[in-house]
């Protein structure tokens, strides 16, 4: 895909032990939202209920404070073209 140095399970905040699923050192984080449809299949996902959703918002805002752009995808619907477009934009900024 032309993107160098992707780091999986990147710990961007050692104090809170927060990680993002993937990180590119140009300042791009990727999160795969695996529990999106869990509640419709009789399972629970912490990401889309109460405290879990609130904590994710805090985590995602912390990425912004660190000047890291975040793209979120369903695991089965990753838009590699969008990732490449944002990656190239960040790579080429001055």
Which tokens in the block code for residue 71? 């793209």
- pLDDT at site 43: 53
**pLDDT cut 70: percent of the chain above it:** 80
Q: Nearest-CA neighbor of 30 among 3, 54, 51, 49?
A: 3
Q: What would the two tokens of residue 50 be?
A: 């109460």
Tens-place pLDDT, residues 12-58: 988 998 999 999 999 999 999 876 544 545 555 555 556 888 989 99
The residue among 91, 74, 71, 82 whose CA lies nearest residue 26 is 91
1 vs 62, more confident:
62
Domain residue ranges in the chain: 7-92
| Contact between residue 70 and residue 32 where contact means Cβ atoms under 8 Å apart | no
Q: Which residue has the higher pLDDT, 5 or 89?
A: 89
Instruction: Give the integer Cα–Cα distance in Å for 38 and 57.
Output: 19
Report whether 48 contacts 36 (CB < 8 A): yes
Supply 46's token pair.
């912490």
Q: How confident is the model at residue 1 (pLDDT cuts 50, 70, 90)?
A: low
For residue 93, the model assigns a pLDDT of 87
Domain 7-92 falls under CATH 3.30.70: no
């Amino acid at each position: 895909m032309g993107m160098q140095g992707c780091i999986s399970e990147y710990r961007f905040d050692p104090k809170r032990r927060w990680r993002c699923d993937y990180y590119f050192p140009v300042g791009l984080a990727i999160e795969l939202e695996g529990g999106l449809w869990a509640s419709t299949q009789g399972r629970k996902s912490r990401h889309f209920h109460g405290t879990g959703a609130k904590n994710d918002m805090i985590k995602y805002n912390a990425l912004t404070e660190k000047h890291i752009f975040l793209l979120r995808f369903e695991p089965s619907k990753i838009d590699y073209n969008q990732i490449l477009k944002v990656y190239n934009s960040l790579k080429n900024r001055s």
